[in-house]
Amino acid sequence: MALKGNLKDFTITQLLNLVNLARKTGTLVIEGSGDIARLIFRDGKLAYAQYGQEENALASILQRSNKINATQYRILKERAANMTDKELGLLLVNAGYLTQADIIESLQVYCADVVRRLFTWVDGFFHFDGEGELPEDRILVRIDLENLIVEGSRQLRELEQLQEEIPSLDMALKFTDRPGTNIRNVNLSVQEWRVVSHVNPKNTMRQIARFAKMNDLEIRRVVYSLLQAGLVEVVRPDGAPPAPQARMFPTTDRGEQKLLVNRLISRIRSL
């Protein structure tokens, strides 16, 4: 029976824990809001990772980890286009370009990084298939899951805390009007700038996240640091459809409403 569900109910960390403890072999496919990731495990260890459409052939991973330079990468892409990763790896080692350890290390770093990126996914369908085929042409690694599980739980805790600090992404942000704060004098990261450039009472945090291509964890992280620095405050979005207000008062007449509040005030004073 295939294992499937939603990350809302069963987190990535819990999934890794299950794979680790049960020493599972198989393929875990996760469909997030924008991307699909595929992880392959053998005997409870991570063997392979694919993130969305991201290029994960050996040559591009080696370039990313600076084991080969851009020119070498281009040459390999042209000349070794028909080679499998296994063939290419063997060629590079035999030619004395790289050691086997270099290659394995680059692949391990890449796969672990894919898993780390998945930790920020809090919503999405997953599906574990124990029958799936191994990609014959790829070099498989063996990564112990324990360290990743610890890292993942740490991130999860962070997300929970941030959700407590910023419970609703449907609220908007505005710059605080405290005298003396000038956003231009603050050192912001690229991500923070991207958020700052959309700060406007008209944009909800959810919209900003979409503009800035961030997920829930990332937007909360940035907003939290801006809040801590006192640069922005959380406000209700302008122009949002008014909440069902009519029912606050039994009357819609403004004058009567005021009168009603004044009646409440004198009653409470007399208690």
Chain residues in the site for another protein (CB under 8 A): 164-168, 170-171, 227, 233-234, 236, 242-245, 247-251, 254, 257-258, 260-265, 267-269, 271
Q: Which is nearer to another protein, 75 or 246 (CB)?
A: 246
Phi, psi of 39 (to 5 degrees): -120, 135
Query: Minimum CB separation from another protein for residue 180, in Å?
Result: 14
Q: Which is nearer to another protein, 175 or 249 (CB)?
A: 249
Query: Minimum CB separation from another protein for residue 173, in Å?
Result: 13
Whether the Cβ atoms of residue 44 and residue 20 lie closer than 8 Å to each other: yes
Q: No. of H helices and E strands in the chain? A: 10, 7
Query: Minimum CB separation from another protein for residue 253, in Å?
Result: 12
Q: Which is nearer to another protein, 168 or 189 (CB)?
A: 168
Query: Minimum CB separation from another protein for residue 32, in Å?
Result: 25
Query: Minimum CB separation from another protein for residue 222, in Å?
Result: 17
Q: Which is nearer to another protein, 150 or 261 (CB)?
A: 261
Q: Which is nearer to another protein, 109 or 162 (CB)?
A: 162
